[in-house]
Amino acid sequence: SQQGEEDPQALSIQEGENATMNCSYKTSINNLQWYRQNSGRGLVHLILIRSNEREKHSGRLRVTLDTSKKSSSLLITASRAADTASYFCATDEGGGNKLTFGTGTQLKVEL
């Protein structure tokens, strides 16, 4: 069963704007990851944040984690048309190597 819920389900923005998507989860975790998926096929790992971290940056990506609220957000700054994809958060459900994915946010960046 899927643990995470993502919000919004779909997001449409103009190129150059920032995109923010949120993820909530239910149980304790060791880490949370964000993945990107183009055209419903392979997932590409974007960034991992550990439970003892509050914020992490990678290029135009900024991830925050609030373990008290069991939530995370992914911010993509200065979006580009090539950022159009589905974005998923995934957690380790408190242990083990299997991932539990959220329902995903479909991002569309228009020129």
Partner 1 sequence: GAGVSQTPSNKVTEKGKYVELRCDPISGHTALYWYRQSLGQGPEFLIYFQGTGAADDSGLPNDRFFAVRPEGSVSTLKIQRTERGDSAVYLCASSLPGGFGYTFGSGTRLTVV
Residue closer to partner 1 (CB basis): 2 or 64: 2
The 3-state DSSP class for residue 7 equals: strand
Considering the complex, state which of residue 49 and residue 90 has its C-beta at the smaller distance from partner 1: 90
Minimum CB separation from partner 1 for residue 103, in Å? Answer: 5
Closest residue by Cα to residue 49 from 62, 60, 38, 37? 62
Q: Which residues bind partner 1 (CB under 8 A)?
A: 1-2, 4, 33, 35, 40-45, 88, 90, 92, 96-104
Residue closer to partner 1, measured from CB, 42 or 59: 42
Contacts of 41 (CB under 8 A, 6+ apart): none
